[in-house]
């Protein structure tokens, strides 16, 4: 591993002359579909911004503005170098850098320090944020820990959504959480988009009566096109953005909604909460969108899935005998996955305690099938589960 990091360093030096004078690669910290991320020492320390100051004890940046850098003394400090694969499209890379620039004022979002380009090679430099692998701590979280984690995540989401941006890839590896300092930052805007970028009419944006009428019309006319869109339609075929990660995609993404909103991120955050409450990661593990719909149907039941599909002009038919019409409550799912028995010694059904029950009530608000009825990130921060209490 050491050797290949050294090779990577040489490669970076070849593309960007003087790179090795500026940064010293320490190790590889992430390797994804779209990039390789390294931890590196920044050899030319400058105070990048007042918002992100060096924590002298811990050698990392913290978005507090507590301390300011005393010039003259050079200390080691760390950055994350994100080397974006040359196979990523230029628009995609530009988009990521552009959106990060827009969001630079939020403490809950990892800012961009700078970026370099050489032909098709782009590297982004971010402050290094210490964090643990989600799998190392999620099983040990109690409800109080969950409140703090999700307050941090929803603060980030509220800022992103307030800027009319959809992150599109909310999942544990894109929210770097420091369990000691109880703070997290949102990273990876590689799939993010401005609201409305690829909007096209979807049945879900119509009023209920109008939607019903459209569906009825399409039944009367023909059966071999998606509901609601007449045969011989001259408009370009509808293409829904499906970007995201399997298991975290909102039902409207799976049902190819063409008018997706910031609520898709709230769903994905809900899946993280479900994972923590059920103590199972990954909770959903589908290989494709059809599988993913079936997994959702197993939990939520056929009736809800049908209704949800219809909302976006799609059909949902399922003849798998183990999938019921009504599905299960999230409370039941969580009790099944975390308790070895579901009844106490008197034969009474085990119920969740008050704190967990409040978490589940919040979870239900995040996992509403209809995005219109799903809680917004801003409202989530006012929900009893996340609202700061006195004392």
Catalytic residue among 169, 178, 188, 372: 169
**Residue of 5, 26, 29, 294 that binds ligand ADP (CB under 6 A):** 29
Listing DSSP states for 80-142 in one string gives EEEEE-TTS-HHHHHHHHHHHHHTTT-TTBPPP-EEEEETTEEEEEEE------HHHHGGG--
Structure tokens at 250: 């909102």
Closest distance to ligand ADP from the beta carbon of 377 (Å): 20
Considering CB distances under 5 to 8 angstroms, the limit depending on partner class, which of Mg ion, ligand ADP, none binds residue 80? ligand ADP
d(CA 198, CA 274) in angstroms, rounded, equals 29
Residue 155 or 174 having the CB closest to Mg ion: 174
Residue 100 or 296 having the CB closest to ligand ADP: 100
Residue 268: CA atoms inside 13 Å, Cβ hemisphere, count? 28
**Residue of 40, 54, 103, 126 that binds ligand ADP (CB under 6 A):** 126
Cross-strand pairs, 54: 61
> Judged by CB under 6 A, which stretch of 27-35, 99-107, 221-229, 372-380 contacts ligand ADP?
27-35
> Judged by CB under 5 A, which stretch of 107-115, 185-193, 201-209, 277-285 contacts Mg ion?
185-193
Q: Which of 228, 31, 230, 36 is nearest to 121 (CA)?
A: 36
Residue where the block lists tokens 């307050």: 151
- Establish whether 55 is a catalytic residue: no
Sequence-separated (6 or more) residues with CB below 8 Å from residue 373? none
Check: CB of residue 356 under 8 Å from CB of residue 277: yes
Considering CB distances under 5 to 8 angstroms, the limit depending on partner class, which of Mg ion, ligand ADP, none binds residue 29? ligand ADP
**Residue of 96, 188, 252, 265 that binds Mg ion (CB under 5 A):** 188
Residue 73: CA atoms inside 13 Å, Cβ hemisphere, count? 8
**Residue of 15, 121, 173, 245 that binds ligand ADP (CB under 6 A):** 173
> Judged by CB under 6 A, which stretch of 124-132, 215-223, 243-251, 291-299 contacts ligand ADP?
124-132
Site membership for ligand ADP, residue 328 (CB under 6 A): no
Site membership for ligand ADP, residue 327 (CB under 6 A): no
> Judged by CB under 5 A, which stretch of 8-16, 86-94, 172-180, 277-285 contacts Mg ion?
172-180
164: left (phi over 0), alpha (psi -120 to 50) or beta: left
Site string for ligand ADP, 35-74 (x = CB under 6 A): x-x-------------------------------------
Check: CB of residue 81 under 8 Å from CB of residue 38: yes
Indicate the SS3 state at residue 23.
strand
* Cα angle 90, 94, 96; round to 5: 120
Binding site for Mg ion (CB under 5 A): 32, 174, 188
- Contacts with ligand ADP by CB under 6 A lie at 29-30, 32, 34-35, 37, 80, 82, 110, 126-129, 173-174, 176, 187-188, 190
Active site (catalytic) residues: 169
């Amino acid at each position: 591993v050491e050797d290949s990091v050294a090779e990577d360093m040489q490669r970076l030096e070849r593309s960007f002359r003087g790179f090795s004078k500026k940064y010293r690669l320490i190790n590889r910290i992430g390797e994804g579909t779209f990039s390789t991320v390294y931890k590196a020492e920044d050899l030319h320390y400058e105070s990048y911004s007042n918002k992100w100051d060096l924590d002298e004890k811990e050698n990392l940046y913290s978005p507090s503005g507590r301390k300011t850098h005393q010039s003259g003394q050079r200390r080691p400090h760390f950055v994350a170098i994100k080397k974006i694969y040359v196979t990523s499209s230029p628009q995609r890379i530009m988009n990521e850098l552009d959106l990060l620039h827009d969001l630079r004022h939020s403490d809950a979002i990892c800012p961009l320090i700078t970026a370099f380009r050489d032909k098709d090679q782009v590297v982004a430099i971010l402050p290094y944020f210490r964090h643990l692998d989600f799998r190392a701590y999620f099983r040990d979280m109690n409800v109080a820990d969950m409140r703090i984690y999700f307050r941090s995540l929803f603060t980030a989401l509220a800022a992103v959504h307030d800027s009319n941006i959809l992150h599109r890839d909310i999942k544990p590896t894109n929210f770097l959480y420091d369990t000691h300092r109880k703070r997290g930052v949102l990273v990876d805007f590689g799939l993010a988009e401005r609201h409305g970028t690829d909007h096209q009419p979807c049945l879900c944006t119509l009023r209920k009566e109008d939607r019903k009428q459209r569906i009825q019309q399409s039944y009367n006319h023909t059966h071999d096109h998606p509901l609601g869109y007449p045969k011989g339609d001259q408009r370009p075929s509808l293409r829904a953005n499906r970007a995201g990660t399997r298991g975290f995609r909102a039902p409207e993404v799976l049902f190819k909604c063409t008018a997706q909103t910031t609520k898709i991120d709230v769903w994905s955050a809900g899946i993280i909460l479900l994972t923590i409450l059920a103590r199972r990661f990954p909770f959903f593990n589908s290989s494709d969108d059809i599988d993913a719909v079936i997994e959702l149907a197993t939990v939520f039941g056929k009736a809800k899935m049908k209704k949800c599909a219809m909302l976006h002009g799609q059909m949902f038919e399922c003849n798998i005998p183990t999938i019921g019409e009504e599905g299960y409550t999230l409370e039941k799912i969580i009790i099944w996955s975390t308790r070895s028995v579901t009844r106490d010694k008197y034969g009474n059904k085990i119920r969740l305690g008050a704190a967990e029950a409040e978490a589940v009530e919040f979870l239900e608000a995040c996992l509403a099938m209809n995005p219109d009825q799903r809680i917004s990130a801003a409202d989530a921060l006012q929900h009893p589960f996340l609202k700061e209490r006195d004392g």
